[in-house]
Structure 1
Amino acid sequence: MKKKSTLTMNNLAVRAITAIIGVTIIIAGIVFSSWTFALVFLAIALLTLREFYNLARKSGTQPYEVWGLVFSLALFGLIFLNYQGQIDKSTFWILPALFSTVFLYPLIRYGQGHAINCLALSVLGVLYIALPFCFVIPLAFVSGEFQYELVLGVLFAQWANDTGAYFAGKAFGKTKLFEKVSPKKTWEGSVGGLILAVGVSLAFCYFFGTMSYLEWTGLAIVVSIFGSLGDLVESAFKRALAIKDSGSTIPGHGGFLDRFDGLILALPFATTYIHFVI
């Protein structure tokens, strides 16, 4: 029992140290400049996409990873440069041609596994991972110029939701949220996550303004609901493949997909919400 307790404390220490370092790097990158902001989220998107493709390989499918990473890089980069005002909109015509190249892969790899499954999962990775992360760009440029406050607000609301759900679930969790997909998640935990997310968002309103208290509360609710659903979606993928973590890139936290799964659904809905209220 003592050994188990020591291991638990060590794991919590590793998780805490890794979280502090990771959060510091992310916040610094977002705040420093629009370029470092873009690099931070591009890196997160590409690393998360790689882990998704690794999950797909565990099912016996060989996704076209190089195509997925190159297309995602081009998609994110062009959207960012467009908001920076540094490219002509006609440059976006590169994307349809680049996207269409994925349909050539079944010819190149003819006879090597199920081409349709490989093609489908390659495209799914872009739609599920890369495209949602691109929504952080219009969120940062919602006023026409780069502003980091709303981006940080969404991130902190998501992190607060995860933290509140974990501790509230541990303390009060009894009613299962979606037992077939994630047996440990409870309604009590979800409520705790929502409450903490709202509290953090109200603190952002106090320090940064940008929106009213009611609008910040609405943002927290959107992030909490869709962030939790994003977590469940990734859990469904992992359960289908009978694995615990999507990777081991982040000590004590699993992989990038494990850490940013909630953000994948939260970002598109949060950005849409922001564009309606501002």
Structure 2
Amino acid sequence: MNEISWNVLNNNNLTAAGRLSMALDEADAVLIGVGAGMAAADGFTYAGPRFTESFPDFIEKYCWLDMFQASVFDFETLNEEWAFFSRFVDLNYMSQPLGESYVRLNELLEGKNYHIITSNADNAFEIAGFNPDRVFDVQGKYNLLQCSQGCTQKRYNNEALMKKMIEQQNSMRVPDDLIPYCGECGAPMELNRRNHTDWMVEDEKFCLDQKLFNNFLDENINKKILLLELGCGYMAPQVIKHPFQKMTENRSNALYMTVNLKDYSMPHEIRDRLVWLQEDIKKLLSDVEKEQQFTKMKTYETEH
């Protein structure tokens, strides 16, 4: 494969918004990796008031610092565990509002050849109107249940159950009859999310989404591809960050662009095809939208 040049790499006078806009225009295909940083940019944080206002009783009892710590806590009973997770699912899926950054990203990608892989398990892409066939939820979905023992490759919608748990819980406990158990083996059910052993139930829908993702990579192997990373850190770098970097190293036609406020070490092998934008994602996407609107206006004025 012949190495493909990217004009955006040779233009150091552009703003961050200008560089992203130019890269999007140059690319024949765009692969977007979205992590927790993008959700946080829209206010969907796992710490601060959003956390403390939703779980004051649990925080008082266990002195948790954030929802990450809480979500891996070893609860004493399933009654208490589901009292927490029912509120967690409501906050981070069922009642999560529309994210402005997701709406802008959807608009910026209109008409483009793109696919998304996300480590977030919320409903941000659904509520923003993205084509579900172009979004791969590789780490699971908070609105689904799975057998904790993985005895069956099935996932079950949990939203009606979560609402009942929220309504009926008392003193940080849900009633015994609301605790979900696997209909196949009798083991407790749990949220569909990849755990610390990198395991989760992957049903037919998951496998179809994975196939669509892999098909996109195969179909665009010889095209000029932008690997755009939005808010991916090092909590689970093996999911998006490391594969994106390896893909850039192996594809001479790829450009790796990462948007993150934190400074992470980057492999030397890809530094000649790497753009790091140390920007707030929400502001950056807003600026790109404004820049493209301005460009369209100037083009219209020139033509008329």
* TM class by smaller structure: under 0.3
Q: Which has the higher helix share?
A: 1
Q: TM-score, normalised by structure 2?
A: 0.24
Q: Which has the higher strand share?
A: 2
Q: TM-score, normalised by structure 1?
A: 0.26
Relative contact order higher in (CA < 8 Å, ≥ 6 apart): 2
